[in-house]
Chains A and B, each alone.
Chain A
Amino acid sequence: MSTQLQTSGRIESGTLIEVENLSTHFSTPRGVVRAVDGVSFTLERGKALGVVGESGSGKTVLSRTIMGLQPRRGTRLGGSVRFEGKEILGLQPKQMRGVWGKEMAMIFQDPMTSLNPLMKIGRQIEEPLRNHLGMTKDDATATAKRLLQDVRIPEAERRLQQYPHELSGGMRQRVMIAIAMACGPTILFADEPTTALDVTVQAQILDLINEQRRERNMSVVLVTHDLGVVAGHTDEIAVMYGGKLVEKAPTRRLFAAMKMPYTEALMQSIPKLEEPSHTRLATIPGRPPDLVNPPVGCRFSPRCPYASDKCREEEPPLIPTADDPSHSYACWYPVGSPEYLEARARLDAQKVKVA
């Protein structure tokens, strides 16, 4: 683990972020929502981590908590987040200001609502430049123009004088990326950056994020529900379910040898272009867990076809696989284990009987 304290940009590799046993709980009238519940992972410099999960899995709250942007009212945080070796969890906004925009940047899902509708594009990009780098108005304008060119927005000069509503969704997302890149952050959190965009534009934006990451040796946390998006654009993937990290592995390894039945089920429920039309889709029965009263034991057990009594009683820890320490999972009977195979054979036999 790196204990470097230098500022960004000088260090080429090593750990950038260490998250340990992080939890984010909200008080609501219904009770305490355990949106993020004991998540641990580390992220290296220059790497891209995909955080995958369905709505309510805690993936968005996780990224906002790490960045310190989660609203504080009614929120209880636990655990630790070390950024470049320094503890940043629970710091006051005043202390985080030097980090926000400068070291950590974020882009949001909906480019329609994420830019200030009443402020010219130019001013919105110049803000962090003048704030963090103390640039003069002229320098900031020149830099803003260059940033717009970097994210391949045509007629950058003219765009600076436009308002967000005058740009298309794809253009606005590019502007958001330009703003995020303004001060050369060491890490970018991208929360569903392409969900609101068309597929052709999505491909462009993902490509742009990747390109910026390589050029700037920046880490990226790509939060998404789409396994297709993370497959081609990340080094590592973390799968979240019910506020827990249930599987984490290098991207290729995860797709080649997924261990969690949930990851497998998620994968199988996606319609695939290679399959002939009318292929019956595998489904996950039931609904995501209620995070006020999460199920006892493994949170996926009520929906898992392979669950046994142990799964419903004892919570499985996140443990590394025997052959690859970078691949960990939280399951008592992972995909490929004897119990899994046995349960699967039993289910197949039932299916045949029903048919």
Chain B
Amino acid sequence: MAGTGKAHLRDTDDIILRVEDLVMEFPVGRTGLKVNAVSGISFDVRRGETLGLVGESGCGKSTTGKAIMQLPRPTSGSVLFEGNELTTLEGQAMREARTRMQMIFQDPISSLNPRRKVRDIVREPLVIWKRGLPTEQLDKVDALLEEVGIDPQRAAESQPHQFSGGQCQRISIARSLVLDPSLIICDEPVSALDVSVQAQVLNLLEDLKAKHGLTLIFVAHDLAVVKNISDRVAVMYLGKMCEVAPSDVLFEAPAHHYTAVLKDSIPVPDPEIAVGKVAIEGEPPSPVLPPNGCRFHPRCPAADERCSTEEPQLREIADNHFVACHHPIVGGEAPVAVRSATSPVS
């Protein structure tokens, strides 16, 4: 894994976002070294699809989400969104394009201006873009607040800190929807929330997606959450793409050794499932000096000579299932401890 390649890109009319060879690098002080946050990844998203981006901290998933928004502009690569090449778009055209995609963040409370009333926060984009008459704006804001389950009356009188974390995330969602975007990038939107609230927000996102015809990019580290909400999932490791597949396929039969490791590391809420041996030791190496070849090879149970020199390319191993690995797992035969698949009691 940790490979490049574009075999998984689709060529249909309904592609809303197409990212090719995206590279994002940041300098390390003045040492001349650089953090290779994202090193040449490609993916596309269909209109109405939810793409999940998973991986551990430092894999570049959040950076990718922000790079799509051009915050900041990527070091190189192409981001084609609704027919516009965003990496070369300037000024007003860029601002217009940004209204078509919105982002929601992990910490909902700090992403809302603490000194303003919630209703004004949600309305602000409409005011900036002069969309509609004031009464129309307020009607729209109130309707959206109702939709996300926030009382508009209370929103008109209260500031963000008077709401709970889950409610603030709902408010962020309402704000992101107010300009009728087509794409929403969700950066760890539920990882700061309690499980009971997390379920509410995930369900809400599903409902809003259907109602507003949204396309979602869902960045998260929690595999179960990503599986639940996504149609297609892309697994990242150290700035590279490992595996891309439909959500159900990916977790049923992971082909990349890293995906298998991730899956096996999740604690399952069922004591009947024997806790296997730790799936992997150690931690990812520094993105400043990433390994050659496949970036996962120093930790991979199946790595050989070739993996340390030659970078694997994404290739299709089953219908719509792409993996960047020289020795993919076939037929669910994993080299690490496999857990029995008893379903949990609930």
Contacts and interface: CB of A to CB of B under 8 A. Distances in A.
Q: In the complex they form, do A and B come into direct contact, defined as C-beta atoms under 8 angstroms apart?
A: yes
Interface centre among B57, B267, B275 (most CB of A within 10 A): B267
Contacts of A202: 265, 267
Contacts of B198: 269
A206 B247 CA distance: 28
B56 interface: yes
B267 A206 contact: yes
Interface in A218-261: 225-229, 231-233, 251-252, 255-256
Contacts of A264: 346
A273 B251 contact: yes
A198 B264 CA distance: 13
Interface in A186-234: 198-204, 206-207, 225-229, 231-233
Interface in A126-155: 152
B57 A198 contact: yes
Interface residues of A, number: 51
A195 to B, nearest CB: 10
A55 B194 contact: yes
Interface string B305-346: 000000000000000000000000000000000000101111
A54 B267 contact: no
Interface in B221-254: 221-225, 227-231, 247-248, 251
Interface stretch (B71-79, B96-104, B121-129, B277-285): B277-285
Contacts of B346: 264, 267-268
Interface centre among A199, A225, A233, A272 (most CB of B within 10 A): A199
A273 B196 contact: no
A232 B271 contact: yes
Given A228-B268, A274-B341, A203 B224 contact: no
B89 interface: no
A7 B56 CA distance: 43
Interface stretch (A24-32, A70-78, A279-287, A316-324): A279-287
Contacts of A275: 228
A43 B248 CA distance: 41
Contacts of A280: 203, 206
A227 B228 contact: no
Contact of B202 (A206, A255, A271): A271
B272 A255 contact: yes
B146 interface: no
Contacts of A296: none
B199 A251 contact: no
A202 B251 CA distance: 19
B166 interface: yes
Interface string A161-181: 000000011110000000000
Given A203-B267, A226-B267, A283-B200, A274 B228 contact: no
Contact of B266 (A228, A268, A277): A228
Contacts of B197: 287
A191 B268 CA distance: 19
B281 A231 contact: no
Contacts of B341: 274
B167 to A, nearest CB: 8
B196 A269 contact: yes
A277 B56 contact: no
Contact of B203 (A200, A225, A283): A283
Given A266-B196, A283-B196, A252 B280 contact: no
A276 interface: yes
A278 interface: yes
Interface centre among A256, A272, A282 (most CB of B within 10 A): A272
A199 B228 contact: no
B262 A282 contact: no
B278 A204 contact: yes
B227 A277 contact: yes
B273 interface: yes
Interface of B: 56-57, 164, 166, 194-200, 202-203, 206, 221-225, 227-231, 247-248, 251, 261-273, 275, 278-281, 283, 341, 343-346
23 contacts: A169-B57, A201-B56, A206-B267, A228-B269, A232-B268, A232-B273, A251-B271, A255-B272, A255-B344, A266-B195, A267-B269, A269-B196, A269-B199, A270-B224, A271-B224, A271-B225, A273-B263, A274-B344, A277-B230, A280-B206, A283-B196, A287-B197, A288-B194
Interface of A: 54-55, 152, 168-171, 198-204, 206-207, 225-229, 231-233, 251-252, 255-256, 264-284, 287-288
CB-CB nearest 4 A-B residue pairs: A228-B267, A232-B275, A277-B247, A198-B56
